[in-house]
Amino acid sequence: MLVGGTIVVAAEMRSVPTKHLTALAFSATAGVAVEYYDFFLYGYAAASVFPAEFFPSLPPRQALVFSYLAFGAGFPARLVGSFIFGHLGDRIGRKSSFLIGLGLIGGATCSTALLPGYAKLGTTAQVLLVVLRMIQGIGLGGEFGGATSLLAECAGDRRTRAFWISLANLGIPIGAVLASVALLVSGSSFTGTGWRIAMLCSVVIVIPAAFTRAFLAESPSFDRLKQGGGIERVPSLGVWRAHAPAICLIALIGAFQQMDGYVSGTYVISFMQSAGIPLATIARLLLLARVADALGVLLSGPLADRLGRKRVTVAAIAATAVLSYPFARAAVSRQLGVLAALQFLVALGGIGMLHGLVPMLAADSFPTRYRYSGSGIAFNASAILGGAVAPPLLAALIGPDPAGKWVFMPGVYAGYAAIAIVALRFLPATRTELDVEKGPPARP
């Protein structure tokens, strides 16, 4: 609810027992980890395998751009998925929507692993690659809204509420760590059959994750809303009428995190390879970054509970933008020790910290009847603005020789950072934020 320019955390949110909340956090994290394992594997393959596998008839630079465009097809699909699953989650329930999305992305990933390349199917292979990517994106589109809604509504009015909400995205770095391990273990075979085997291995995680989600309990806030007849008829459209500014602002803030995640986690593979860094070394750097990502998520909640969401968010964005300059320069000059340290810090702040902070900002910007839809739409719109735009843009600007054009990378970081910080300035404070800032309490 908006009161005098301040978003008030609704009094309807009463916390559930810690035992139940812990089980919920585990099940949500496990499912998200599976889906992002699949998602990041696709990104790694798009950077190192797909240009030759699916676009061999094009010059190397164009093949890389088209490979990233195929990768980017999943981002508008994620937005479609956020509308579909937001509607289901805010009308039928969070639990069933959460389970369906997992099945979609698992099936699409396994089908991609078995898809013949251009040599056998020609342009049909390219079309099917994009179609499967879009199905994968639709399934992923419901993840953020579901995890954020369940954790926010079950954490209720706890003093450590920010910490619990931050766990909505903990599965992302865990899934990314698993994908990096798969890339590292595969080694040089990843560009042959290794990427297919790694994608098929996701079945081992999908089955137990789906089983765990099947036993999730519905959130108490949604149950009360449903019993009281407060369900919106078309929530994924109604949220635009009631909360369009919040959706746009959160999307612009989250776009920085998405840009950093896909630039330093996927585009950087081809960037470093062009600079002469071996794929095995890149895999180790990515694994280090994923550990930093997970650590950033775990740090974001306690810091936000103590210092305030906005303060920590601004600090994380600004520091990452500044570090992007020496990061790109170290990659081009192949200063591996410096590069490893900077890769860790860029992932810690710009990806990990924001992975935890964006769910907090999103959860408190929407009431229960719109939370699944609003959070999911904002987050997946940010994925289009950041993840779908930045990698192909940098691939086109820098090309296969980064020596004289690497400065475009920190330039992109600076542009996204400026937009995110301005958007954050206009996002209304929440009641919990005012408590941290020691301002006057908002009256419900």
Cβ contact 165:152 at 8 Å: yes
- The separation between CA 387 and the C-alpha centre of its own chain, rounded to angstroms, equals 9
Q: Is residue 319 scored above 90 in pLDDT?
A: yes
Distance CA 124, CA 54 (A): 10
The per-residue pLDDT for 4 is 41
Which pair of tokens denotes residue 275? 């600079």
| 322 to 79, 91, 300, 418: CA distances (angstroms) | 30, 43, 19, 12
CA angle centred on 180, ends 174 and 186, rounded to 5°: 140
Torsion (CA) 144, 77, 290, 400 in degrees, nearest 10? -160
The per-residue pLDDT for 299 is 93
Distance CA 128, CA 53 (A): 13
Q: What is the mean pLDDT of residues 330-343?
A: 93
Is the pLDDT higher at 171 or at 321?
Answer: 321
List, for residues 291-309, the tens digit of each pLDDT value: 999 999 999 989 988 888 8
Residue 355 buriedness (CB in 10 A; 0-12 / 13-18 / 19+): buried
Domains of the chain: 17-215+234-433 (1.20.1250.20)
Distance CA 142, CA 86 (A): 7
Distance CA 245, CA 365 (A): 10
Q: Is residue 189 scored above 80 in pLDDT?
A: yes
Which pair of tokens denotes residue 189? 């075979």
Residue type for position 59: P
The per-residue pLDDT for 437 is 43
List, for residues 137-167, the tens digit of each pLDDT value: 898 888 888 888 888 888 777 778 888 888 8
Residue type for position 144: F
Q: Is residue 17 scored above 90 in pLDDT?
A: no
Q: Is residue 387 scored above 90 in pLDDT?
A: no
Is the pLDDT higher at 368 or at 252?
Answer: 252
Dihedral sign for Cα 434, 439, 441, 444, please: negative
User: Residue 430: pLDDT band by 50, 70, 90 thresholds?
Assistant: low
The per-residue pLDDT for 14 is 59
Q: Is residue 412 scored above 90 in pLDDT?
A: yes
The per-residue pLDDT for 115 is 92
Q: Is residue 6 scored above 60 in pLDDT?
A: no
| 381 to 74, 134, 385: CA distances (angstroms) | 12, 15, 6
Is the pLDDT higher at 343 or at 227?
Answer: 343
User: Residue 357: pLDDT band by 50, 70, 90 thresholds?
Assistant: very high
The per-residue pLDDT for 13 is 52
The runs of H, that is alpha helices, within 276-405 are 279-307, 309-332, 336-346, 354-363, 368-383, 390-398
Residue type for position 360: M
Cβ contact 163:65 at 8 Å: no
The CA-to-CA distance between both ends of the chain, in Å, stands at 8
- The separation between CA 431 and the C-alpha centre of its own chain, rounded to angstroms, equals 26
Q: Is residue 320 scored above 90 in pLDDT?
A: yes
Q: Is residue 413 scored above 90 in pLDDT?
A: yes
What residues contact 223, with CB distance under 8 A and at least 6 apart? none
- Compute the mean pLDDT over every residue in the chain, rounded to the nearest whole number: 84
| 337 to 194, 245, 270, 299, 333: CA distances (angstroms) | 28, 43, 19, 24, 11
User: Residue 183: pLDDT band by 50, 70, 90 thresholds?
Assistant: confident
Q: Is residue 215 scored above 80 in pLDDT?
A: no
User: Residue 325: pLDDT band by 50, 70, 90 thresholds?
Assistant: very high
Q: Is residue 432 scored above 70 in pLDDT?
A: no
Q: Is residue 77 scored above 80 in pLDDT?
A: yes
Q: What is the mean pLDDT of residues 77-95?
A: 86
Which pair of tokens denotes residue 417? 């950072």
